[in-house]
Structure 1
Amino acid sequence: MNSRKNNRLEFYDYSQNGAYFVTICAKDKQKIFWNNQQCSVGAVSGRPQDKLNHLGLIVKIGIEKIPLYYQNITVDKYVIMPNHVHLIIRIDNNDINGRPMTAPTLSQIVNQFKGYCSKQIGHPVWQKSFHDHIIRNQADYNRIWEYVDTNAIKWESDCYYN
């Protein structure tokens, strides 16, 4: 029996304060979140939100609901691509009085988001896992922000394009 590889760092606490770059792929990397004609042409003009089909709009709502479910979580930046989503998620466990709050793990946040989308769509649309990168410093954050910001423009050269 094959066991799935754990993609998370073994001894890292994914509920601690910090910023995380997350990539979630559609099941079988199907191009299901953009209008078909734009998937074949690429994303040369316009904003990605202008290209979203009804499934992509459900994903957009799911992303925007994340901070409503978790008061100490923000989604700083995101882009919905035809077959995957990139997010910069920030966890801040300090309340107004500076006391630590209980935070969900990154996996719990992603699983809640994926579950919401699949329920609204009516069937599972995501691969089982997700990729994460712990953002280490401001330069790393800026580089990832730029990548997310320009990802739709570079769709045809994206590693998930084919």
Structure 2
Amino acid sequence: MDETKFQNKYRIEPARLEDYDYGANGAYFITICSKNKICYFGDIVRDNDRPIIQPTIIGQRAIDGWLSIPEFYPFVQLDAFQLMPNHLHGILFINKPDYNDWRPNAFGPQSNNIPSIIRGFKSGVTAYATIHQIPFCWQPRYHDRVIRNDNELSRIRQYIENNPAQWAQDYENKEGLYM
């Protein structure tokens, strides 16, 4: 890309590791947000003094869509998952026993990798919202992190599990409290 064009003002850096194969076996921490961080997915409420998500219709569809990922991608195993009012966190394991063809991340068509999995998930939720005339939109991108070891996996699992308890202090929580 010509770095001088637009004086490098409008260029968005890729969010992916440059030489990593996002279809390779491994663990991936995924965060996906709603557009403009609008709280489409539900409210955090107290249940037996424990904060949990009370999902909206589109929130429940996001949960159901996430849980159905292995139906479309049998090589994916789901791990920790948490829906929040305006985002979700999840851990995906890719497990392809015979995979040995390393393909570094590249621009272009994607299949059987994290970008294609997330695209399928997001488009399924969006299609449901469109069919049922539910106002909803995703943020265009998502965040991912390749989980590098068991210690990191444990910390991320704990972060995901504790996320609802942190909602009262989240700057995106306009009310500043639980419902």
TM over 0.5, shorter chain: yes
Do the aligned partners of 2:40 and 2:136 also contact (CA within 8 Å) in 1? no
Equivalent residues in 2 for 1:11-160, closer than 5 Å: 11-35=19-43, 38=44, 45-48=50-53, 51-94=54-97, 99-100=98-99, 104-122=112-130, 125-158=137-170, 160=172
Distance 1:159 1:23, change over 3 A: farther
Alignment partner for residue 7 of structure 1, among 12, 15, 18? 15
Secondary structure of the corresponding residue to residue 78 of structure 1 = strand
Deviates more, 1:2-11 or 1:101-110: 101-110
Secondary structure of the corresponding residue to residue 146 of structure 2 = strand
- Higher relative strand content: 2
- Name the aligned partner's letter for residue 72 of structure 2: Y
Distance 1:79 1:17, change over 3 A: same
CA distance in 2, matches of 1:159, 1:110: 26
- Give the number of aligned pairs: 151
Distance 1:7 1:160, change over 3 A: farther
Q: Could you tell me how far 1:133 is from its partner in structure 2?
A: 0.9
- Higher relative helix content: 1
CA distance in 2, matches of 1:160, 1:46: 17
Q: Which has the larger radius of gyration?
A: 2
CA distance in 1, matches of 2:38, 2:120: 21
CA distance in 2, matches of 1:101, 1:66: 23
Secondary structure of the corresponding residue to residue 47 of structure 1 = strand
Unaligned runs of 5+ in 2: 1-5, 102-110, 175-179
Identity of aligned pairs, percent?
A: 30
Distance 1:157 1:29, change over 3 A: same
Q: Could you tell me how far 1:158 is from its partner in structure 2?
A: 3.2
TM-score normalised by L of structure 2: 0.77
Distance 1:132 1:34, change over 3 A: same
